[in-house]
Amino acid sequence: MSFVKCEQQGAVAILTIDRPEALNALNTQVLCDLDAAIDQVEQADDVRVVVLTGAGRSFVAGADIAEMKGFAAVDGKKFGVRGGSVFLRLENLSKPVIAAVNGFALGGGCELAMACDIRIASEKAKFGQPETGLGITPGFGGTQRLPRIVGVSKAMELILTGKVISAAEAKDIGLVSEVYPPEVLMEKAMELANAICANAPIAVAESKRCIRMGMQTDIATGCAFEAEAFGVTCGTQDKNEGMGAFLEKRAEKHFKNK
């Protein structure tokens, strides 16, 4: 992987988009590398949470305009399908993904952050979908995820105007959950990741699955998913451990992902 670094701290995998000379812009190779990194963390049994960030002063400044400039219609569709499929894989990863947005998250970068489960940002971060000003639409899920996250009216405003917003405004509209000084962003991301790691992995994965599936369906169907997941977790050793610790009034728990 030329443009995505993967390191592990305890049960947390840190994926860093590493193309700082291009502000981490997404080209075909970066998407291939990200796809390979998703494979790697999905198959790693000792990884429970993923933190995704960018090298240098940008999270991801967008898709690579230099590559897209020569696209015909068929090329654009192929690129959109490729990026969209990678982002869907990230969204549907069984392990929670935290976006630590350290700088520019524009276009494809904003779309990448939205494919993550939780977004936290540096005070220096900037968000936006400026594609209409370039004569194109968002191509990696922006028209679908942004309305689901911030509501239709605000998504329409941001996409149709191409407006770029600050981290503070992103928090106000619910695009990110927390904003931190740049120097503590990764520390806070790791605190959040480790708090998730402290819980039962199967319960975490099933909870994520229920939320993701439920957001795409009616509440009755969503509640049916939840009941199924509740049943699955009730049959695990980790349920016995967690409830045993509660009843025994002990803080220490030994979840085994079983």
Which letter does DSSP use for residue 249 in this model? Answer: T
Q: Bridge-partner residues for 9, per DSSP?
A: 12
Length of the chain: 258
**Catalytic residue (one of 21, 42, 67, 111):** 111
**Catalytic residue (one of 7, 67, 123, 131):** 131
Annotated catalytic, 42?
A: no
Residue 146: Cβ-neighbour burial (10 angstroms; 0-12, 13-18, 19+): buried
Q: Give the separation between CA 240 and CA 233, rounded to whole angstroms.
A: 10
Q: Give the separation between CA 110 and CA 73, rounded to whole angstroms.
A: 23
From 68, 67, 143, select the one nearest 111 (Cα to Cα). 143
Q: Give the separation between CA 93 and CA 18, rounded to whole angstroms.
A: 21
Phi and psi at residue 45, to the nearest 5°: -65, -25
Catalogue the active-site residues: 111, 131
